[in-house]
Each structure stands twice: as C-alpha cells, then as structure tokens.
Amino acid sequence: MNKKIKVGIVGHGNLGRGVEMAISHTNDMELAAVFTRRNPDSLTPLTKNVPVYSVNDILNFKDKLDVLILCGGSATDLPKQGPELSRHFNTVDSFDTHAKIPEYFDAVDASSKGAGKVGIISVGWDPGLFSIQRALFGAVLPTGKDYTFWGKGVSQGHSDAIRRIEGVKDAKQYTVPVASAIEGARSGENPELTTREKHTRECFVVAEEGADLARIENEIKTMPNYFADYDTTVNFISEEELKRDHAGIPHGGFVIRSGKSGFDSETNHVLEFSLKLESNPEFTSSVLVAYARAAVKLNTEGVSGAKTVLDIPLSYLSEKDGATLRKELV
Amino acid sequence: MNKKIKVGIVGHGNLGRGVEMAISHTNDMELAAVFTRRNPDSLTPLTKNVPVYSVNDILNFKDKLDVLILCGGSATDLPKQGPELSRHFNTVDSFDTHAKIPEYFDAVDASSKGAGKVGIISVGWDPGLFSIQRALFGAVLPTGKDYTFWGKGVSQGHSDAIRRIEGVKDAKQYTVPVASAIEGARSGENPELTTREKHTRECFVVAEEGADLARIENEIKTMPNYFADYDTTVNFISEEELKRDHAGIPHGGFVIRSGKSGFDSETNHVLEFSLKLESNPEFTSSVLVAYARAAVKLNTEGVSGAKTVLDIPLSYLSEKDGATLRKELV
C-alpha cells in the first residue's frame, strides 16, 4: 500500500474545518497537523488525534508534510503566507481577489520555483471550477459570450458591510441571480446585461433596540460598490429568526456560454455549468483537497512553480490512476 | 507573428466539414489539406484554395503538417487510422466507442510514443467534455453519484437502425431525457434510475408506399438494445415533413453529480454541466480543433504518446497565453 499524503492545514476557520471534513472523504490523504496564529492549546481540530502547532514553528515540519492547504483570507493572510510558505512547502490556496491574481501568481511563482515546490493558487469555485469552465467554453467556441451569475447564496463581504452600520446588531446578505437574465444568457441572443439586471441583493438585518430602521435601510441601499448599483431589499428580523432561518452558508452560481459555429456563425450552442451548494466553505475545501493531491503528484514528477487550475490536467485531481479513469469516466 | 498551425483533415463527412468551419473561428490555425479515400477530384472543400489528396499519399506530407484531425467513424475507420497515422503525425480523433477506449488508447500510445508524436483520442462531448466534467465532479466530491443524460437530440445509430427495417424509406430518431428523472438527479436524493426511466425515444418514419405500418412500428418498438428497453413513440410522416421539420442534427445532454461533504455526509451539493447544440457535428468539430492546438503545443514541448482530455491542462486548448488567461479568465 502506498503511503498516504500528509496534509497540513494553516488557519482553522470555516475553510480549515471544511478541509478536515474533505480529507475524511479520501482514501489517500491524512491530516497530519493544524497550524494556527492563536495559542495552539485554544484549538481542538474536529479530527481525532491531530496535533496543533503555532504557525511560527511551521518550518520545523518542512520534511514531515507533503502539502500545506492555506485556509487564510485573501485580503491580508494569503498575500503574505502564500509567498512565504511556498518557499518551503507545496501549497494550495483559495486566493480570490480576481484583480490581483496575476501579481499573486508571480509572487508565489518566484518563491516556489526557486525552492522546487508547487504552489497552486486561486482554487475553489470562483476562481476555480468557474475558471475551468470559462477557459474550456471559450476554447471550444471562440466566437461567443460568457455570462457568470452568482447565487442564490450568502456573501460574507456584503453581510460584513451591513454589520458595520451603526445600529445593526447582525445581518446576512443573499446575492440572488435574476431568473430572466439567466434565461437571456441561455437564449443564444447574447444580450448585454447590466449589473442591476443580473443580480438582486436580499438583506436580513437584526437592529439594535431603538435603532432608526429607516436610516439603516437607506444606508444599506445607497452604499457605494456594495449595494447602490443593485435592486436591494432590506428585511428587519429578530435575532431568533436570523439564527433559525439564516444560519447556513449556502451558495451557487452559473457559467453560461452562448457560442456560434459555422462559417457565418449561424449555428448556436449553449454550454452551461452550475453549482448548488449547501455549504460554500465545505465545498471550497473539497476542491482545495483535490488540488492538494495534484500539487503532490506534480511535485513528485519534478514540477515546480506557481500553477492555477488551468495548468493542471484533470487526471491529477483523482485518486484513480489513468487506466481506471479511461475505463470508468472517459 | 508566429506561424499558423497547419492542419490536415482526414475524411470529409459532416465532421470534416465542421472542422473546416471551426478552423475559420481561430486566428492561429489554417487548413492545409484534406485527405479522402474517394477520388480527390470528386471533392471540393468548403474553404477556398485548399488542396485535396488521396489518403494513400498522406505520408508525403509528414513534414508539412503540424496535426491531423481524423474525421472517420469509430466502427471501422479510426481503429485502423488512429494507430497507423499517429506513427507519423500528431493526431486528434473522436473515437467514441466507450467500451473500447482502453484498447484504442493502448494502440495509439504504442504507435505515437515510438514516433515522438502526440495522439489525442476520444475528443468531442461524450466522450470529451462530459468526461472532463465526470472526472472533475468525482474528484472534488468523491462521495456522490453521477448521472449522464443525452438529448434532446438525433441519434445517428438509432436512425440508421430504423432505416434498415423493410418498408422504411427514411427515418430520424430523437433521444429525449425524461424531465422528472433530471429533477430526481438534481434533488440530492441519489435515486436509482432505470434505462426506461432516464430516456424516451421518438421516431419519425417515412414508409414506402403500401408498407405495413403496424408491422414497422412493432419492429421498431421491440428491437433489442436499440428500442426494447425504452418507451418509444413512432410517428409516420411524409418525406416532405421529414425534410422540412427534421433536417437538423441537434443534440445535447447533461452531466449531474449529486455529492456530499461533512464528516457524516450530511451536506448536499449539486454540480451540473449541460449542452444545447444546434449542430452536433459542428460542435464536436469545434472541440476537435481546440484539442488539435493542444496536440501541437504538447508535442512542441517534447511530449509524446496517447492522451485523453483528462491528461491535458485546459490552458493548452486556448489561443491565449498563460498570463492572459490568468488575467481574463481565472
């Protein structure tokens, strides 16, 4: 029997816990250690008998782990951790600030290539599975138009933005794709869709006692970048209702390409990929774990440097070998 | 400016003509020659100024073409042409006899590897894009169940089977996925679906004058393998109606995975990929052309041997370079 792939988790929020769960669905991987910036004694992994260490001691584990899954955030954690840790370990992360991906790629590439390690960045569903579909769809039907829709699902960033408003105790925001816009994308007529036409925003807000609800609602609806460009509805509910009805972190989305073939582009085709997720972090973690396997396989073959999901053959994600995949899945 | 990739087409049926159309949607590829088993003078490509040669003379073009797209059938053409031609050229084909893919892979691998060429087999949408989705879905959610549905679309094999019945002048058969079965697959309840529950078959038949329609209908509905296991409807129509209403070759389908995460597999996720194609051969050809580009890129890097769609990073399919893809699509 082959030795199992030894995984280290860096950061133990929703994503780190999801990685623990995802590893339990594999036969070829095991969780070897969890690293945290907090006091290691304050944290108990969900998996039995897994040690917790301070991230400050992580270099002691250079030869003991096959891959690190970086479960920090894209704003401040990953821009620092990605380049630092990929100098010593194979790494996988879910860096999702789209505009900064080229710059982040270059930083991880420089550190990992010199060290002979593989750093797979921006893994998850968008970026991630959606990137794969956009690349595939565009390559097979170069004449056409892509549409990406998100939701229905919880946007953590938008929920946080509402919570920062004075008088708000707690809040949850759902991004909702507009059904008629999705139908338009599928129609083959390549409509131009504005931001407002593609998504609406639904807010569930728990206000402090005595707070001015009209002011809160107005502050939400007029907030630049987050809400002003959308049709937004605000529902004030009790703390109990928020806990009872909005505890989950569901999400989902669609990538639709309406493309053409024929000399005069007279033949229409519609390609569509969609996700419906009961737990956004658990699913993102499942994708991270599959790419952690790929990082180890690639590195074992002598590959090094930064990679995205577009650089990696799908066969590397699977526990199964090439012959089995050809027999069962091709 | 880089030199364009020089493509040769072997076989000039619906697929070969589709490849001509698909090349016209690229900026980096050109059709250099068409090869046929027929008299070359009897064939005029759709693309202007493209020479036609006998396939018997194809070895004269060993150093003049970057890749051959094999547009023959899986029953008799490809099992012979794939191994023969991949000994001399980079090749791409749409071999689609699922059960024989492992054997065909080995034959193309043996011939192409020795010659330092790349042979990409089983390219199209099933096998092809559907294989990619099944591999991706299974790797990210290993606990779960896949469903593949085909249609609504024309099955050439089933149409041919009807045409072989005595008294049938012409026929077209549509494979139709059952809406309630698709809903079941999406439900997350992992239903077991029988062949009969997943698809129905709709036949449009032009009978010879005076033919026994009841006998024809019975022969269709009881035909083993093709129709006996399905709910089949038979519609007799005129030759004019067949030409007017059933001239197209549309197709499509769905790959749905209902998968679980969480330690107790208590969290449900549904991943879905679907196609709606106005022309099955034109779309299949578009996929072949993208993989022809990949074959040339791989071979330029020194790669050789047989490959399937699971062995090739998505970035190889695109005209765009890695940095552009990261910026625009990841």
Which chain B residue has its CA at the smallest distance from A311's CA?
A: B313
Neighbours of B142 (CB within 10 A): 20
Q: How far apart are CA B300 and CA B75, in angstroms?
A: 31
Number of H helices, E strands in chain B: 11, 14
Q: How far apart are CA B144 and CA A76, in angstroms?
A: 35
Candidates A102, A268, A327; nearest CB to B323: A102
pLDDT at A310: 98
Q: How far apart are CA B84 and CA B111, in angstroms?
A: 7
Interface test with A, best of B121, B314, B317 (most A CBs within 10 A): B314
Report, in this order, helix, strand and coil percent for chain A, each rounded to 5.
40, 25, 35
B-chain residues near A143 (CB < 8 A): 25
Amino acid symbol at B157: G
Q: Which two tokens stand for residue B144?
A: 């779960």
**Angle of helix A129-140 relative to helix B129-140, nearest 10 degrees?**
180
B275-308: buried (b, 16+ CB within 10 Å) or exposed (e) per residue? bbbbbbbbbbbbbbbbbbbbbbbbbeeebbbbbb
Is residue A129 exposed (0-12), middle (13-18) or buried (19+ Cβ within 10 Å)? buried
Which chain A residue has its CA at the smallest distance from B311's CA?
A: A313
Task: Using only the alpha carbons of chain B, give its radius of gyration.
Answer: 22
Q: Give, as one character, the DSSP assignment of residue A4.
A: P
The pLDDT of B38-47, averaged and rounded, is 95
Note whether A154 contacts B: Cβ–Cβ < 8 A.
no
Report field, pTM of the whole predicted structure over 0.90: yes
pLDDT digit string, tens, across residues B229-286: 999 999 999 999 999 999 999 999 999 999 999 999 999 999 999 999 999 999 999 9
pLDDT at A56: 97
Q: Which of A19, A25, A32 is nearest to A282 (CA)?
A: A19
Task: Using only the alpha carbons of chain A, give its radius of gyration.
Answer: 22
Reported confidence tier of residue B2, pLDDT bands at 50, 70, 90: low
Q: Which of A105, A103, A121, A74 is nearest to A287 (CA)?
A: A121
A-chain residues near B136 (CB < 8 A): 129, 132, 314, 317
Q: How far apart are CA A99 and CA A234, in angstroms?
A: 30
Note whether B136 contacts A: Cβ–Cβ < 8 A.
yes
Chains A and B form CB pairs within 8 A to the count of 205
Task: Check CB contact under 8 Å for B142 and A319.
Answer: yes
pLDDT at B188: 85
Encode chain A (330 residues) as per-residue pLDDT tens digits: 569 999 999 999 999 999 999 999 999 999 999 999 999 999 999 999 999 999 999 999 999 999 999 999 999 999 999 999 999 999 999 999 999 999 999 999 999 999 999 999 999 999 999 999 999 999 999 999 999 999 999 998 899 999 999 999 999 999 999 999 999 999 988 999 999 999 999 999 999 999 999 999 999 999 999 999 999 999 999 999 999 999 999 999 999 999 999 999 999 999 999 999 999 999 999 999 999 999 999 999 999 999 999 999 999 999 999 999 999 999
Q: How far apart are CA B56 and CA A150, in angstroms?
A: 54
Q: How far apart are CA A268 and CA B253, in angstroms?
A: 15
Express as a percent the part of chain B with pLDDT over 70. 99
Task: Check CB contact under 8 Å for A267 and B287.
Answer: no
Q: Give, as one character, the DSSP assignment of residue B47.
A: S
The CA distances from residue B101 to A212, B118, B254, B294, in Å, are 68, 16, 21, 20
ipTM over 0.90: yes
pLDDT at A189: 87
